[in-house]
Amino acid sequence: MLSDYAIQFDHVRKKFSKSQNQFGTLRDDIVTLFRRKRSQDLLHKNEFFALKDVSFEIKHGACIGLYGPNGSGKSTLLKLIANVISPTSGSIEINGQIAPLIELGAGFHPDLNGFENIYMNGAILGMTIGEIKKKMDQIIEYSGLQDFIATPVKKYSSGMKLRLGFSVAIHSEADIFLFDEILAVGDEEFKEKSFNSIKNILKNNKTLIVVSHDLDNLSQFVDNIIYLKKGIIQN
């Protein structure tokens, strides 16, 4: 039976260490593993919680804004949803295929051109080669990068990378879309196009989480806003 919820977080915590990872023996790794299981909620030297006891539920078809100052845990939360990282404690349930645009240029190889990166990025998002071929012209046209599609991505500006990544993502058949700061990069014409695309995605009962520092813009089209501060959801 399909759950009513696309995303569920239950008392999720995530901690990181400020120290660089040190590589030890297999015995050290086993001892560390059992120590972590016993002390998930304790902080050791140089550790900190990026998220603290976070719980929420997002229904299928909802558009949620994620807002908060730098260092509040927004990117950590998105990476947990995308399964890029695992929680220290608590549980996460995801019901649906995810299309994450959570880091500018993520999934792109700098030495490959835009055309080649569409194939690679599309595959990362779960698209088949046949699906990418079928949608290639649409993806390129939407991005507006026809004149640069044969240029290596390492020569792209931040805005060009965003346009290409966003274009690939919205042409996927994902159920859940994660967009990090799409409202902050790109010209006004592309921002307007992005808003219209988000509206069209929502009409198809897809789920969106949009991160932005622009609360006014977020408030215009999201159903609800999750406000994070120092890793804690603010009521």
Per-domain residue ranges of the chain: 62-86+96-234
Distance from C-alpha of 93 to C-alpha of 6, rounded to nearest angstrom = 8
Is the domain covering 62-86+96-234 a CATH 3.40.50.300 domain?
Answer: yes
CB 172 within 8 A of CB 116: no
Instruction: Report yes or no on whether pTM surpasses 0.75.
Output: yes
Per-residue pLDDT in tens (0 to 9) along the chain, 235 residues: 567 899 999 999 999 987 755 444 555 555 555 555 555 567 777 889 999 999 999 999 999 999 998 889 998 999 999 998 999 999 999 999 998 877 656 678 999 999 999 999 999 888 999 999 999 999 999 999 999 999 999 999 988 988 898 899 889 989 999 988 765 656 778 878 887 888 888 888 899 998 887 788 788 778 999 999 999 999 7
Q: Give residues with Cβ within 8 angstroms of 70, minimum separation 6.
A: none
Q: How many CA atoms are closer than 13 Å to the CA of 139, on its beta-carbon side?
A: 26
Distance from C-alpha of 167 to C-alpha of 171, rounded to nearest angstrom = 6
